[in-house]
């Protein structure tokens, strides 16, 4: 038994001390025409590992980045590289959706040849692979391009990506190995179909609720009894009345589905997703939603030309299915002042999903809108159970206006995050939401009236309950200013890292920076940290403390998990603050080294140009490891005192490892 234990420990240590290469790349060329080729990059990924898509949103894990060499005068890229289907997962640590591949991935870049003798095209692929640790790797692939007789330009449809590309670069090491490729090629592929269906279902449900909300507005609700009355009086028999009611509902659905199809057809199924992450389109969406919100709040009415309604109404008198279809179109036009903002908002939201999401959204919206008209026309007796029209309809409309206004700032935040302008950081975003929902609560309590509100002598029980719910939500948001995670709205405000202070308003300690040692910074939980090895080592020697060397990354998920769930523990945090000197070396730091400090790695043969390159190369050279997080305890001369460890989610185990290193230092 003891021998088996020793063998397992030896294998564990050996595994931690090796350069890990969980991803193997291969390449091939596919001819499209005399001057166009598809460059196909295939990645085979070891089991339980995953690689992040080139389209994973900013502030998340590091995406794939493709850098094509010597393109000027030789070839040009047609659009962006297309990807095989990826999976989607919300990352609570970064507060964003992430896109990633399991088992294998394929990227296809179309190029047009400008120089018939180009011969080869080379691309550098930077990527991040994660399991319990993360590895920042890169590989260079080469594509053999046959010599062509002419390079006359041909028109090729642009290849559009699904999400905006992050153009940052990464660093690390990877080696192609045919045996590994063949072995891993047999791995099964996890289909993203379930994830895609889940996204479409969420769009459908959201749109269905939007249709129900539209039904409860002053432009639509009063039309229910009018429409039902028309069918009951004009139909010769009950059967005919029910048939016409069903046709009317189907016509409403067809009209809105046609609208969703037009949006998809005009912009393209895939390009909608790309547009949703574009700075300018986010700003346009922000402006549109503010415009819609102002309309709902009573500033003005959004109406289509009266001539349209008159012409359509005339066609509705023709009878038969065509007449019913025009009746449904008349409903859509007359109610546009209430339904238009909701439809516009739903189409904007659906665009973030891409594909057929706008069509699915319109199916959901129109189904909720059409269903009551159909049911009440089929069963007129139910009309007696409907509440009477009144001021409550405008309350619904105004409430939708507040929701639209709050949602608008999500799109403004998206644009700000892409630009990294820091105009709408987390605290400002939350302050805006607190004010919007606070004013909505005041309105619901009847302390604020807007242009189209009726005189209010009292508020209903339903309105009171809604006012209380909105008030509770407003109060819930307030601690977010002091750094509370606000998990209920996770993904809507900017991430914690994108804030004026990582500790929230009032969380920073005034004057504390004066006590910081030279070159030091505040790390997680206000732990004093150094980001340069030599500077940190010099300070450790000065204060006679051991060093906790932390190889980490800005986009390392498990690094954040260690900091948030292990370092924060009461039994661990005092050790990190008082008994060691923390040196955190970020292997994905993209700041360029001074020219005189740039070099070529003796270990990997790669050019070391950035600070992240430098620390990654140091980790690979000294410890033969390229995964993060990665921890070692050193003495003040830089000698290792402990074995290296990686991701260790058990706080007690991590504490014992720290104590072993500290006790060795004292000896």
The model's pLDDT over 584-628, given as tens digits with 9 standing for 90+, comes to 998 877 788 999 889 988 877 888 888 888 998 898 888 888 888
Interior/surface letters 589-622, b for 16+ CB within 10 angstroms, e for the rest: beeebeeeeeeebeebebebbbbbbbbbbbbbee
222 assigned to some structural domain: yes
Looking at the fold, whether 73 and 121 belong to one and the same domain comes out as yes
Q: Return phi, psi of residue 71, to 5°.
A: -80, -30
Looking at the fold, whether 136 and 218 belong to one and the same domain comes out as no
What integer pLDDT is reported at residue 573 of this predicted model? 92
Distances in whole angstroms, Cα of residue 601 to Cα of each of 67, 597, 625: 20, 12, 15
Looking at the fold, whether 295 and 374 belong to one and the same domain comes out as yes
In terms of DSSP bridges, do strands 104-113 and 50-52 run parallel, antiparallel, or are they unpaired?
Answer: unpaired
For residue 103, give the CATH number of its domain.
2.60.40.1250
Q: Which residues contact 318 (CB under 8 A, 6 or more apart)?
A: 326
Q: Return phi, psi of residue 604, to 5°.
A: -110, -15
Spatial separation of the C-alpha atoms in residues 362 and 210, rounded to whole Å: 10
The two three-digit tokens of residue 257, written as one number: 């589905």
316 assigned to some structural domain: yes
Q: Return phi, psi of residue 87, to 5°.
A: -100, 160
Q: What is the tally of structural domains in the chain?
A: 3
Looking at the fold, whether 119 and 132 belong to one and the same domain comes out as yes
Nearest to 441 by CA among 484, 477, 408: 477
In terms of DSSP bridges, do strands 96-102 and 50-52 run parallel, antiparallel, or are they unpaired?
Answer: antiparallel
Q: Return phi, psi of residue 600, to 5°.
A: -105, 130
The two three-digit tokens of residue 16, written as one number: 């931690």
Confidence class of residue 494 from pLDDT cuts 50, 70 and 90? Answer: confident
Average pLDDT over residues 636-643: 89
Query: Is residue 249 within a helix (H) or strand (E), and if so which, with residue range?
Result: helix 238-267
What integer pLDDT is reported at residue 135 of this predicted model? 82
Confidence class of residue 173 from pLDDT cuts 50, 70 and 90? Answer: very low
Looking at the fold, whether 101 and 142 belong to one and the same domain comes out as yes
Dmax (CA) for the chain in angstroms is 101
Choosing from 191, 225, 254, the residue where a domain stops is 191
Cβ distance 57 to 277 under 8 Å?
yes
The model's pLDDT over 398-455, given as tens digits with 9 standing for 90+, comes to 887 898 898 888 878 877 765 667 788 888 999 999 999 999 999 999 888 888 777 7
Spatial separation of the C-alpha atoms in residues 223 and 333, rounded to whole Å: 13
List the beta strands (DSSP E) in 323-444.
Answer: none
Looking at the fold, whether 50 and 140 belong to one and the same domain comes out as yes
The model's pLDDT over 64-74, given as tens digits with 9 standing for 90+, comes to 888 888 777 78
pTM, entire model = 0.44
Nearest to 77 by CA among 67, 86, 85, 87: 67
436 assigned to some structural domain: no
At residue 632's C-alpha, the angle toward residues 573 and 95, to 5°, is: 55
Which residue bears the tokens 């008030």? Answer: 471
Confidence class of residue 192 from pLDDT cuts 50, 70 and 90? Answer: very low
Looking at the fold, whether 531 and 571 belong to one and the same domain comes out as yes
Choosing from 191, 220, 253, the residue where a domain stops is 191
Spatial separation of the C-alpha atoms in residues 204 and 187, rounded to whole Å: 34
What integer pLDDT is reported at residue 310 of this predicted model? 58
491 or 442: whose pLDDT is higher? 442
For residue 584, give the CATH number of its domain.
3.40.30.10
470 assigned to some structural domain: no
443 assigned to some structural domain: no
Q: What is the DSSP letter of 515?
A: G
3-state class (DSSP) for residue 265 = helix
Looking at the fold, whether 159 and 211 belong to one and the same domain comes out as no
What integer pLDDT is reported at residue 615 of this predicted model? 92
The model's pLDDT over 95-135, given as tens digits with 9 standing for 90+, comes to 677 788 988 899 999 888 888 888 888 888 888 888 777 88
The three-state (H, E, C) secondary structure of 429-498, written as one string: HHHHHHHHHHHHHHHHCCCCCCCCCCCCCCCCHHHHHHHHHHHHHHHHHHHHHHCCCCHHHCCCCCCCCC
What integer pLDDT is reported at residue 336 of this predicted model? 63
The model's pLDDT over 297-346, given as tens digits with 9 standing for 90+, comes to 888 766 555 565 555 555 555 556 666 677 667 666 666 656 666 666 66
Average pLDDT, the chain: 75
137 assigned to some structural domain: yes
3-state class (DSSP) for residue 551 = strand
The model's pLDDT over 255-305, given as tens digits with 9 standing for 90+, comes to 777 866 776 565 544 444 444 446 677 787 788 778 878 887 888 766 555
Among 157-161, 394-398, 559-563, name the one with the lowest average pLDDT.
157-161
Looking at the fold, whether 174 and 251 belong to one and the same domain comes out as no
Looking at the fold, whether 129 and 201 belong to one and the same domain comes out as no
Q: Range of 61's domain?
A: 21-191
Choosing from 191, 212, 244, the residue where a domain stops is 191
Looking at the fold, whether 183 and 230 belong to one and the same domain comes out as no
Spatial separation of the C-alpha atoms in residues 264 and 245, rounded to whole Å: 29
Percent helix, percent strand, percent coil in the chain, to nearest 5: 50, 15, 35
632 pLDDT more than 90: yes
Q: Which residues contact 410 (CB under 8 A, 6 or more apart)?
A: 492
What integer pLDDT is reported at residue 602 of this predicted model? 82
What integer pLDDT is reported at residue 502 of this predicted model? 56
583 or 497: whose pLDDT is higher? 583
Report the interhelical angle of 336-351 vs 357-378 (nearest 10°): 140
1 assigned to some structural domain: no
Confidence class of residue 184 from pLDDT cuts 50, 70 and 90? Answer: very low
Spatial separation of the C-alpha atoms in residues 254 and 248, rounded to whole Å: 10
Confidence class of residue 580 from pLDDT cuts 50, 70 and 90? Answer: very high
Looking at the fold, whether 551 and 607 belong to one and the same domain comes out as yes
Give the number of other CB atoms < 10 A from CB of residue 635: 18
List the beta strands (DSSP E) in 364-431.
Answer: none
What integer pLDDT is reported at residue 283 of this predicted model? 84
Average pLDDT over residues 33-49: 87
511 pLDDT more than 50: no
33 assigned to some structural domain: yes
């Amino acid at each position: 038994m003891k021998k088996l234990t020793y063998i397992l420990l030896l294998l564990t240590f050996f595994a931690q001390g090796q350069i890990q290469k969980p991803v193997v790349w291969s390449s091939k060329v596919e001819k499209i025409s005399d001057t166009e080729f598809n460059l196909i990059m295939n990645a085979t990924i070891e089991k339980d590992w995953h690689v992040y898509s080139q389209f994973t949103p900013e502030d998340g894990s590091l995406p794939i980045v493709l850098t094509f060499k010597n393109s000027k005068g030789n070839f040009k890229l047609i659009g962006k590289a297309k990807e095989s289907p990826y999976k989607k997962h919300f990352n609570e640590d970064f507060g964003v959706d992430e896109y990633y591949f399991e088992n294998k991935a394929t990227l296809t870049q179309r190029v047009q040849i400008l120089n018939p003798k180009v011969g080869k095209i080379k691309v550098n692929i930077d990527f991040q692979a994660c399991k319990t640790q993360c590895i920042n790797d890169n590989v260079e692939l080469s594509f053999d391009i046959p010599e062509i007789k002419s390079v006359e330009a041909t028109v090729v449809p642009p290849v559009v990506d699904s999400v905006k590309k992050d153009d940052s670069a990464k660093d690390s090491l990877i080696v192609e190995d045919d045996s590994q490729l063949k072995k891993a090629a047999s791995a099964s592929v996890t289909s993203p179909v379930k994830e895609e269906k889940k996204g479409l279902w969420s769009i459908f449900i959201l749109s269905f609720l939007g249709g129900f909300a539209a039904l409860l507005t002053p432009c639509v609700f009063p039309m229910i009894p009018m429409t039902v009355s028309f069918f009951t009086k004009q139909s010769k028999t009950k059967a005919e009345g029910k048939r016409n009611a069903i046709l009317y509902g189907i016509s409403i659905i067809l009209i809105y589905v046609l609208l969703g199809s037009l949006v998809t057809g005009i912009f393209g199924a895939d390009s909608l997703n790309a547009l949703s992450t574009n700075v300018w389109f986010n700003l346009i969406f922000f402006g549109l939603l503010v415009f819609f919100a102002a309309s709902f709040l009573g500033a003005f009415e959004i109406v289509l030309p009266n001539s349209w309604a008159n012409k359509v109404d005339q066609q509705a008198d023709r009878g038969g299915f065509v007449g019913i279809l025009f009746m449904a179109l008349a409903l859509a036009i007359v109610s546009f002042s209430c339904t238009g903002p909701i439809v516009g908002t739903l189409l904007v939201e659906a665009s973030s999903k891409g594909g057929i999401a706008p069509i699915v959204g319109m199916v959901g919206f129109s189904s909720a809108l059409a269903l009551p008209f159909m049911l009440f026309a089929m069963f007129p007796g139910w009309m007696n159970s409907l509440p009477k029209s009144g001021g409550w309809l405008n309350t619904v409309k105004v409430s939708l206006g507040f929701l639209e206004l709050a949602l608008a700032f999500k799109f403004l935040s998206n644009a700000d995050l892409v630009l990294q302008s820091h105009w709408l950081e987390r605290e400002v975003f939350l302050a805006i939401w607190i004010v919007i929902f606070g004013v909505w609560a005041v309105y619901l309590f009847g302390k604020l009236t807007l242009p189209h509100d009726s005189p209010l002598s009292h508020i209903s029980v339903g309105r009171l309950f809604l006012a209380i719910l909105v008030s509770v939500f407003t109060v819930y948001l307030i601690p977010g200013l002091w750094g509370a995670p606000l998990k209920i709205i996770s993904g809507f405000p900017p991430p914690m890292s994108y804030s004026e202070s990582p500790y929230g308003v009032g969380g920073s300690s005034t004057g504390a920076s004066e006590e910081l040692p030279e070159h030091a910074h505040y790390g997680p939980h206000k732990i004093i940290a150094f980001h340069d090895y030599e500077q940190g080592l010099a300070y450790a020697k000065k204060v006679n403390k051991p060093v906790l060397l932390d190889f980490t990354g800005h986009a390392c998920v498990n690094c954040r998990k260690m900091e948030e769930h292990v370092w924060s523990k009461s039994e661990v945090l005092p050790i990190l603050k008082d008994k060691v000197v923390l040196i955190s070396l970020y292997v994905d730091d993209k700041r360029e080294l001074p020219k005189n400090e740039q070099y070529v790695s003796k270990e990997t043969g790669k050019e070391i140009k950035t600070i992240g390159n430098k620390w990654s190369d140091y980790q690979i050279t000294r410890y033969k490891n390229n995964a993060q997080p990665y921890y070692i305890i050193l003495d003040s001369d830089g000698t290792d005192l402990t074995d290296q460890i990686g991701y260790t989610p058990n706080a007690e185990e991590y504490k014992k490892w720290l104590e072993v290193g500290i006790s060795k230092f004292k000896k």
